[in-house]
Chain A
């Protein structure tokens, strides 16, 4: 029974949540010592999260990841620069749009913006604000992966684009509206939490393996960090534009 992949994954998802639950429980029992409201819905929610994570990861492993990885290798070997870059952009864009953590946080950010009277207090305004955030982030992730792939092909040192990103962020921050800065700084980490990382790492390692003179161990890395800087730059620009 324990060899069933679904049961294994169920256990794995529980393990992902376990450290959080353990820390919260220790704090509740030893330090806060107050009754917890709505324990029933909390437990139901935790079960939903575990079930959702399990289905999500299981589904990715039998659909997106194997095709995505084999395609990343195929494109890396094929050598058509245009199609490789187009694929890199679409992959980054699509992965960021499907990212569940980004969906949830964008919704949260829209609520906060509505409460702060930044946008109208209607569902339509909130939905369009959240979608705007997500599309901006997704475009930036797509572009980041594209530049990252170019970096691996051209063999630029990994810290060049990263330092460039740091400098851009430092220059743009004073000019960006204050309300967007927090979410802009967070967006990179939010967008690179589940789908993006494995697909992008596969692309990077696949490229570095198939190009002569590149070391997959070292050149294959560094794509993810760039994907976590670009959304900050784009969101600050988005904040200035609207």
Chain B
């Protein structure tokens, strides 16, 4: 118990250092540049204290739950017994790992669909497009994008192919799509990728990737473990640009904001 308390106090001090820059930015600019006293200083100090405690509990919880969970799923889905292959066999074909792809896709699809930040973005897109783009359609296309992205990302880890081939291929696709997509939606489509990576999904997906890279024979976590988040950020952009394009064709008009 004492050990735990000491560790907790140490983490608290460490986290103080982490939130210092942002606190100094906000307070410093407010007092020195805008030159107005802070409204409700008490409330703000309590707020910072909540942030501090929140980060400490969250990081502790990550170590206890989300990291082990991602790792556990990766190792359980890749044991030779589960795959039904000979444990001594070092060359397992990529098709045997299909449950891994399905798991990654389900995690991506369900978390993106439930993401509150995405809901706000989707509603705004519906407004911008004057109703041509539906909030639900956009959310589903982002969710499909994240799901497909993660499935492809796990496939990459299993096969050990080069990360940049997929990502740069995706970049080229985005560039081509941008050329034809309705202009008003481009900024929003770009942002939709980064919006779907939340504080909860990032650690779980990272642990899944690292876990896969350490259990699939022939893979190395140092070289193959990362990269899943990059897929989860890129594919929603492709999906949203594609959805906006289809919505435009369907309405046969230009996407101009309606008064």
Contact = CB atoms under 8 A, between A and B. Distances in A.
Interface of A: 12, 15-20, 22-24, 26-27, 31-32, 34, 36-38, 41-64, 67-68, 71, 74-75, 83, 87, 90-91, 93-95, 97-98, 100-101, 103-105, 108-109, 112-113, 115-116, 118, 138, 158-159, 162-163, 166, 169-170, 173, 178-179, 181-183, 185-186, 188-190, 192-195, 197-198, 201, 215, 217-225, 227-228
Nearest to B56: A52
Chain A to chain B: the 10 pairs with minimum beta-carbon distance, closest first: A45-B65, A45-B64, A63-B47, A59-B50, A56-B54, A182-B226, A52-B58, A48-B61, A94-B22, A52-B57
Interface of B: 18-19, 21-26, 29-30, 33-34, 38, 43-69, 72-73, 76-77, 82, 99, 103, 106-107, 110-111, 113-114, 116-117, 124, 127-128, 163-164, 167-168, 171, 174-175, 178, 183-184, 186-188, 190-191, 193-195, 197-204, 206-207, 210, 220-230, 232-233, 237, 257
A45 B230 CA distance: 26
A64 B21 contact: no
B227 A182 contact: yes
A55 B50 contact: yes
A177 to B, nearest CB: 11
Contact of B222 (A24, A34, A97, A118): A118
A42 B63 CA distance: 9
A186 B22 contact: no
A36 B64 CA distance: 14
B235 to A, nearest CB: 11
A193 B199 contact: yes
B198 A104 contact: no
B128 A63 contact: no
Contact of B210 (A98, A104, A108): A108
9 contacts: A26-B106, A49-B200, A87-B33, A93-B21, A98-B21, A185-B163, A186-B227, A186-B230, A215-B257
B223 to A, nearest CB: 6
Nearest to B195: A197
Give the interface SS of chain A, mostly helix, strand, loop or mixed. Answer: helix
Contacts of B193: 189, 225, 228
Given A186-B226, A186-B228, A115 B221 contact: yes
B53 A55 contact: yes
Given A42-B65, A169-B168, A192-B197, A62 B227 contact: no
Contacts of A223: 191
B59 A103 contact: yes
A18 B68 CA distance: 17
A189 B175 contact: no
Contact of B59 (A27, A52, A115): A52
A100 B128 contact: no
Contacts of A108: 67, 206-207, 210
Contacts of B73: 24, 27
A118 B18 CA distance: 25
A222 B227 contact: no
Nearest to B226: A182
Contacts of B233: 188-189, 228
